[in-house]
């Protein structure tokens, strides 16, 4: 018998991508602190968005390969490689597009290698291949080893210093060169070395997917989630006391805490949507979730285009003429941008069009 699709999964994915677009598209001189990344140590609302999405990538990997019982085959390998390369390439093309709209045509010599989609690509590819050879419990052991090893590595090599001596910056410069890295900070927030804990992060999402897709009744799934969430919550408390919360280095405490919060949000959505059947309010987020990657890419193409065409500031100024507070004017601009993306997502959803990336 075919399992009923969990609407809350699409809603969670949609909520996350909508928030990603929101925090990426403020305007004007001022933006609320919670809609910006922490300068170094700390945690804001903005810092939760990408790890939530990466957690959902892990969940989606389990759902996808569970359909074929994690059977290894040349066709499956080809599919994983193709999607990994596609995600990475689109990430590079988005960087090129951003450079071109700003008048920088050194599209190869100044190209930033790392980015959000590039990190997702590596995590997707590595965790997908692992899932074909290892049980989910064995993968969790790998995740623990990666996170523990990373936690020991950072303190000995300036990993928590915002400086050029940080091991993450040193590795990235040695492998890729200064010209191909993030320009606004010595630390590339999606660098090579910090991809290690990101893989562990994705594996945690994968293991959560195992709970969601089990054959147990929903009430038993909720019970299992409560137990896993409680365990992660206690671990989070212990880690935060010892390890700084830091999004840019993707610290172990950051991984565990954001995964814990993602589990909590998913738990609440499961109760509201799949247990109580309250689905009317979430249709727009379900629409976002059905084409999450595509809508994100469209937003990353449109945002720099608006600046290049000279439209962003006039739109912001028109909003500011009505909303005098610059912080709220910036938020209003971002919300209107999300609304435009929502209209695209809604049309695709109503037409039952799913564009897979």
The pLDDT value recorded for residue 49 is: 95
The pLDDT value recorded for residue 63 is: 93
> 56-65, 239-248, 318-327: which range is least confident on average?
239-248
Q: What is the mean pLDDT of residues 27-39?
A: 93
Kindly give, in sequence order, each residue whose CB lies less than 8 Å from that of residue 107, ignoring residues fewer than 6 positions away.
96, 99, 100
Task: Report residue 200 as tokens.
Answer: 């562990």
In percent, how much of the chain has pLDDT > 70?
99
| Three-state secondary-structure class, residue 246 | strand
Q: 99 falls in which pLDDT band (50, 70, 90)? A: very high
**Residue 299 scores a pLDDT above 80:** yes
Q: What is the mean pLDDT of residues 166-193?
A: 91
Q: What is the mean pLDDT of residues 41-62?
A: 96
Task: Note whether 16 and 52 are within 8 A (CB).
Answer: yes
Q: How far apart are CA 28 and CA 64, in angstroms?
A: 41
> 129-133, 274-278, 337-341: which range is least confident on average?
274-278
Task: Report residue 244 as tokens.
Answer: 């700084």
**Residue 5 scores a pLDDT above 80:** no
Kindly give, in sequence order, each residue whose CB lies less than 8 Å from that of residue 151, ignoring residues fewer than 6 positions away.
243, 251, 252
| Three-state secondary-structure class, residue 175 | helix
- The DSSP symbol for 275 reads I
Supply angle C-alpha 140, 38, 153, rounded to 5.
45
Q: What is the mean pLDDT of residues 175-182?
A: 89
Q: What is the mean pLDDT of residues 255-273?
A: 94
Q: How far apart are CA 287 and CA 304, in angstroms?
A: 24
Q: Tens digits of per-residue pLDDT, 223-247?
A: 999 988 998 998 998 898 889 999 9
The pLDDT value recorded for residue 2 is: 47
Report which of 113, 283, 134 is spatially closest to residue 199, judged by C-alpha positions.
134
The pLDDT value recorded for residue 341 is: 97
| Three-state secondary-structure class, residue 106 | coil
**Residue 56 scores a pLDDT above 80:** yes
Q: How far apart are CA 300 and CA 298, in angstroms?
A: 5
Q: Tens digits of per-residue pLDDT, 107-164?
A: 898 899 999 999 999 999 999 999 999 999 999 999 999 999 999 999 999 999 999 9
Q: What is the mean pLDDT of residues 271-282?
A: 88
**Cα dihedral value 207, 225, 43, 166, nearest 10:** -30
Task: Note whether 195 and 123 are within 8 A (CB).
Answer: yes
Residue 189: phi and psi, rounded to 5, are: -65, -10
The pLDDT value recorded for residue 1 is: 38
Task: Report residue 283 as tokens.
Answer: 């249709």
Task: Note whether 207 and 140 are within 8 A (CB).
Answer: yes
318-338 burial, b if ≥16 CB within 10 A, otherwise e?
ebbeebeeebebbbbbbeebb
């Amino acid at each position: 018998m075919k399992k009923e699709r969990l609407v809350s999964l699409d809603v969670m994915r949609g909520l996350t991508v909508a928030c990603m677009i929101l925090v990426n598209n403020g305007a004007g001189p001022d933006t609320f602190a919670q809609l910006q990344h922490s300068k170094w140590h700390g945690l804001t609302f903005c810092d939760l968005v990408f790890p939530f999405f990466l957690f959902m990538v892990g969940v989606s990997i389990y759902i996808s390969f569970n359909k074929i019982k994690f059977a290894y085959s040349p066709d499956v390998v080809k599919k994983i490689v193709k999607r990994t390369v596609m995600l990475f390439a689109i990430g590079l093309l988005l960087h090129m597009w951003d450079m071109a709209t700003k008048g920088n045509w050194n599209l190869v010599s100044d190209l930033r290698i790392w980015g959000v989609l590039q990190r997702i690509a590596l995590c997707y590819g590595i965790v997908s291949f692992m899932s074909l050879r290892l049980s989910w419990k064995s993968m969790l052991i790998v995740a623990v080893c990666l996170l523990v090893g990373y936690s020991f590595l950072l303190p000995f090599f300036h990993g928590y210093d915002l400086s050029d001596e940080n091991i993450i910056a040193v590795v990235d410069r040695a492998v890729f060169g200064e010209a191909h890295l993030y320009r606004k900070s010595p630390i590339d927030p999606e660098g090579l070395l910090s991809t290690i804990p990101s893989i562990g992060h994705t594996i945690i999402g994968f293991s959560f997917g195992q709970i969601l897709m089990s054959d147990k009744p929903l009430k038993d799934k909720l019970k299992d989630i409560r137990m896993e969430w409680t365990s992660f919550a206690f671990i989070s408390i212990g880690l935060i006391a010892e390890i700084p919360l830091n999004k840019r280095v993707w610290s172990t405490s950051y991984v565990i805490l954001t995964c814990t919060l993602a589990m909590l949000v998913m738990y609440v959505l499961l109760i509201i949507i799949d247990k109580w059947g309250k689905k009317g309010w979430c249709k727009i987020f379900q629409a976002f979730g059905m084409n999450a990657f595509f809508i994100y890419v469209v937003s990353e193409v449109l945002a720099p285009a608006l600046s290049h065409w000279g439209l962003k500031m006039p739109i912001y100024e028109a909003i500011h003429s009505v909303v005098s507070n610059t912080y709220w004017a910036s938020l209003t601009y971002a919300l209107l941008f999300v609304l435009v993306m929502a209209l695209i997502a809604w049309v695709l959803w109503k037409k039952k069009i799913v564009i897979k990336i």
